[in-house]
Structure 1
Amino acid sequence: MTHAESVATKTSWMPLISLFLAQVLMSFNVAALPISLGGIVSDFGVPPTVASTTIVMYGLAVAALVMTGAKLGQRVGWVLIFRIVVVLFAGSAVLMIVSPTVGWAIAGQAVAGAAAAIIVPSIVALIAENYRGPQQATAIGAIGSARAISGVTAFLIGGTLGTLVGWRPMFFIVLGIAVVVFAFSFTLRGDRGDASIRIDLVASLLIGAAIVLLTLGFNNLNAWGAVAATESAPFSILGLSPAPVFIVIGLVLGQAFFLWTRKRMADGRVPLIDLRVLESSKERAAVYAMFIVVALEACVNFTIPLYIQIVQGRTPFDTSLAMMPFNLTVFITATLVVRFYKRYPPRVIGVFGFVLTTVALVWLSFVVNNNWETVPTILGLIVFGIGQGALVTLVFNVLVTSAPAALAGDVGSLRGTTQNLASAVGTALAGALLVSLLGVSVGRAVMESPDLPAELVAQVDLDAVNFVSNDDLRAVLAETDATQEQIDAAVAVNEEARLGTLKLGLLILAGISAVAILPASRLPRYKPDEIPDPSPTED
């Protein structure tokens, strides 16, 4: 093809605006949630772990439905289904804006997650249908950068709005972006779908139920009990908490999904996801590494806003500033790491990435204090961001390059499921872990404190320990028989316990990161001239 012919066949970039902003829509919504944590807690009077359910619910919905969403898009037609779910996403923003209770906010994020489960695969499909050759590569690169750019922007805008106005205006922005995406969607070109495509409903139910049960189980380990059922549990099974039971059943259903899918493939029928994308140990290692690194990111994104807004009682803008070193580093590293692919094999980059995240978390567990703006803390977040940014890009690149081009859609489904399940489980585990550690720490500190008599301790429900600000703690203690000296002593005990909990929690995360070096060591060891083009791709 001559240069003139190449220019003549170029497609307008107008369709890309809709797809780019669709990625911004999802990423801005996700980034807005941690910033909104303090406002949701304050507005609805709920514990931080309940407020974080909004984050968990979004990830749960995407993870549970993305495989089904990909097949639905193929059946209905990508352009039509894209417009429908963008309207659905706009509706979720309205729910967040008008929510009178935390239940409405959780429902809003469930709707957003269901919409995103179809937007995620539709972006890739619509790029393939609207662009070819170099234009397609450019479009994919643009979508890849949209996630990081919008994440950084959301933290800055969200922090400012959250401090000056409140958390709800952030979702006016989400609503506005959705309206613009819908308007530009009429520039998209796509087929009418294939009504002959059959969705494997059995597999959809199995994987959906597995993910819902796993997420609910992990998210409620603290509230319902890790073993024995607490009073907060909706029911008990022979005295056992439903949380661990949900986790076990979820794992069983997950195995049933794989068994069913293998049988369907053996019978020559179209599966919900082609398991050839997990055929080799290298591909499975990439999935394990992806799950761990995304879960670690979710833990950090939950823990830092929790401490800054709830424990320290500072503003959402303070949170955005504290998160900025991490978010900017992730963005820069994810963009630049591709330069190293032709010099170093995935195995080396993967192991090095997890070594960095492990060292950073260990460092943070020792240097962190009640001021997040110290140089040692910022340095730890930057090092963690370097490892995180390199790993997130790397593991998806391994999956794409290891699978045949015909399975790109299945790789996208696998990535969407893995990342969002990891994000939901990571957030849920962070909340359960920190609250459990805090309960043990406070209980021990109270018993050892000479300034807190047993009769005062008896008036405080230590079984309902949660992260609260000093002002809220003083208000609770003011309703007891505590003197001012005893209130001051209790606040001091709680401050020390919270900081100790944070340090121990970071150390445990460092241990998980260290374990992830094992799957990273099983990533491919390509020769430099065998590495495919590692173009960025969409989230």
Structure 2
Amino acid sequence: MSEASPTTKGAEKFLIAPILVLVMAQIGTTGENSAMSLAATAFADAFGSTTADFQLANMVYSLVAGALMIAGGMMGIIIGWKKSFRIGVLLCAAGEVVVALSPSMMLLTWGGRTLVGLGASFMIPAVLGLIPNIYHSGKNRAIAFGCIGAASGIATILPILFGVLMDAMGFRITFGILACYFLIVFAASFSLPPIEKAPGKLKFDYVGTGLAALGLFMFLVGLSRISVWGLIAPTAAAPFSLLGFSPAPVLTLAGLIVLAIMMFVEKKVEAKNGCALLPQSFYKTPQVLAGLLCSFQIFFSSAMITLLVVPYLQRVAGWSAMQASLIAVAIGVPMFLLALGIPKVAPKMHPRTALQFGYALIGAGTIAIVLSISSDSVSALLWVGAVVIGLGEGCLSAHASNVVALAVNDRDASQSGGVQATSRNVGYAISIAALGATLLIGLNSGIAGSISTNESISPETRAAVAQHNVDMMSNENFVTAMAGVTTSEEEMAALVAANADARTNALRTTLTVGGVIVLLSLLSTPFVKVARKENEAEIATEQAKQPAVDTDSLQTEGA
């Protein structure tokens, strides 16, 4: 049964209650990832987990969510956005319960995190899909999208609470509270206004969904395991080899091939049914691609801090979870202020300008953090870098979703929530995978290179060290890990010095690589040309049955 749509779309008022519910949902998933970023020490104490285990726990959420969010965007159109939203919220709550009660890292990762990722694949596309159906005027829609972007900034403040809870009561209480939070969001969802389902009977694209899920899963798993299974030759940890090669790059390449096949199949599906899992407007419109890249980079840069900086502060510099959470606050407050403030204070700012400022600021902030790092501590530049990165992410968050919605018709704008959410999770996953591999490879190769020329270290000790995969750890923990390698105090001192130099150089190099990847996105900003839509009262009906962009309803910078 279709839900009724609002009858007045002219001078509509900005509805406060709906955006609060959607913001709460966005805060929940972003806050949950923030809590995970602080749990490295707690998981290590409870389960004896390593950095690779912790990376995998973070990765599984992005694997599941990234693989299924495109399907979630289409599912919302078919079953209704509110129903899809509620299903997602309940799955997230169930996932948090599993995390809180898990007796092992394996169940936590493949049970709890899988459920949360599955829930997010329903909920987050619904958040982005509900906005065009609730807010019809261009101004209100831009403010609503800005609020969703600001929600990520608000969520980064929550780690203060999470840090205190983890330090005082452990991770189980923390994730139990998150489960209760999602149940509150579920109850609040019944206050959302009635909206209209897509006209006609749409068919769910099972073939496209299967190909998208398989391709993304293979690509992300392969990329994430390069540091563990090997880049070319397989390591001892690899489950198998393929003609003498590591399975990681083979899986990555196979995933890309499946995704290419999916795009070919989807073109035929759209021509036949009038809709598809991945409409052509998503990848044939340069502005849409620029907007998706923007969403990708927000989460790529966020994961860069989560993966690289926070573990360093906790495991090497000796910061507590609560202290480390202050970094998230330093990023989150400016992010919140700009994401919410730009659409209201500077409504005439062209989205392209905001994106250019955003990328440049994230690059500058990353440089500051690189300069702040020493062998076992950080300088005050860390805080400067965190604030500047937050300002950059705020500029991107203010317009990321709206840039996509402006460039396509309303039906595709609603469905684009799944693709946008996928780009975010793929950004997060690729950051963890690529930068994680760079960090661990740099760390181990750095130690090997340093001790290879050190005459105070015997060949036997060098060979023994080569059998260990060194983790990001303090000097004290390194000595414990290497206790069986040598009994010589002189050799141990040389190994400790080599580890300190290697982890510093590896961290600086990896952060620099991440910053360069963000700055390269500046090349996409010239494609952002559509600044706003005209005929706001007729937006809900424009091109409802057409996949192409209605150029008459778009205003470019020269119009």
Q: After TM superposition, is the score higher than 0.5?
A: yes
> Does the alignment pair 1:308 with 2:319?
no
Which of 472, 481, 495 is the equivalent residue of 1:476?
A: 481
Which of 228, 237, 249 is the equivalent residue of 1:232?
A: 237
Which of 176, 183, 201 is the equivalent residue of 1:179?
A: 183
Equivalent position of 1:464 in the other structure: 469
SS in 1 for 2:527: coil
Is the 1:342–1:529 contact (alpha carbons within 8 Å) kept by the matching residues of 2? no
Is the 2:404–2:413 contact (alpha carbons within 8 Å) kept by the matching residues of 1? no
Task: Pick closer, same or farther for the CA change 1:222–1:531 going to 2, 3 Å.
Answer: farther
Residue 296 of structure 1, CA deviation: 2.7
SS in 1 for 2:243: coil
Task: Pick closer, same or farther for the CA change 1:503–1:80 going to 2, 3 Å.
Answer: closer
Identity of aligned residues (%): 24
Is the 1:333–1:390 contact (alpha carbons within 8 Å) kept by the matching residues of 2? yes
Residue 140 of structure 1, CA deviation: 5.8
Q: Distance in 1 between matches of 2:498 and 2:409?
A: 58
Equivalent position of 2:164 in the other structure: 160
- Aligned residues between the structures: 525
Deviations 1:416-461 (A, max 9, x none): 1111111111111121110011111110111223432223233334
Task: Pick closer, same or farther for the CA change 1:39–1:76 going to 2, 3 Å.
Answer: same
Which of 49, 54, 71 is the equivalent residue of 1:51?
A: 54
Residue 340 of structure 1, CA deviation: 7.3
Equivalent position of 1:431 in the other structure: 436
Q: Distance in 2 between matches of 1:171 and 1:70?
A: 27
> Does the alignment pair 1:338 with 2:347?
no
Equivalent position of 1:73 in the other structure: 76
Is the 1:27–1:151 contact (alpha carbons within 8 Å) kept by the matching residues of 2? yes
Equivalent position of 1:322 in the other structure: 327
Structure 2 counterpart of 1:322, one-letter code: I
Is the 1:350–1:521 contact (alpha carbons within 8 Å) kept by the matching residues of 2? no
Is the 1:302–1:427 contact (alpha carbons within 8 Å) kept by the matching residues of 2? yes
Which of 366, 374, 378 is the equivalent residue of 1:361?
A: 366
Deviations 1:46-98 (A, max 9, x none): 22122121221112211211122233333334444433332222211111111
Name stretches of at least 5 consecutive residues in structure 1 with no aligned partner: 534-539
Within-5 A mapping of 1:406-421: 406-421=411-426
Task: Pick closer, same or farther for the CA change 1:253–1:11 going to 2, 3 Å.
Answer: same
Name stretches of at least 5 consecutive residues in structure 2 with no aligned partner: 1-7, 538-559
Residue 344 of structure 1, CA deviation: 4.4
SS in 2 for 1:168: helix
Is the 1:443–1:462 contact (alpha carbons within 8 Å) kept by the matching residues of 2? no
Q: Distance in 1 between matches of 2:241 and 2:376?
A: 42
Residue 115 of structure 1, CA deviation: 0.6
Question: TM-score w.r.t. structure 1 length?
Answer: 0.88
Residue 241 of structure 1, CA deviation: 0.9
Equivalent position of 1:22 in the other structure: 25
Which of 208, 217, 223 is the equivalent residue of 2:213?
A: 208
Q: Distance in 1 between matches of 2:431 and 2:182?
A: 28
Equivalent position of 2:380 in the other structure: 375
Equivalent position of 1:536 in the other structure: none
Q: Distance in 2 between matches of 1:430 and 1:451?
A: 32
Q: Distance in 1 between matches of 2:485 and 2:209?
A: 53
> Does the alignment pair 1:85 with 2:88?
yes
Task: Pick closer, same or farther for the CA change 1:524–1:518 going to 2, 3 Å.
Answer: same
Task: Pick closer, same or farther for the CA change 1:497–1:530 going to 2, 3 Å.
Answer: farther
Q: Distance in 2 between matches of 1:220 and 1:113?
A: 19
Q: Distance in 2 between matches of 1:24 and 1:83?
A: 15
Is the 2:406–2:533 contact (alpha carbons within 8 Å) kept by the matching residues of 1? no
Structure 2 counterpart of 1:385, one-letter code: G
SS in 2 for 1:377: helix
SS in 2 for 1:260: helix
Q: Distance in 2 between matches of 1:514 and 1:419?
A: 17
Task: Pick closer, same or farther for the CA change 1:344–1:179 going to 2, 3 Å.
Answer: closer
Deviations 1:436-494 (A, max 9, x none): 11111110111223432223233334452222332322212333432334333322221
SS in 2 for 1:521: helix
> Does the alignment pair 1:111 with 2:142?
no
Equivalent position of 1:294 in the other structure: 299
> Does the alignment pair 1:248 with 2:253?
yes
Q: Distance in 1 between matches of 2:189 and 2:326?
A: 34
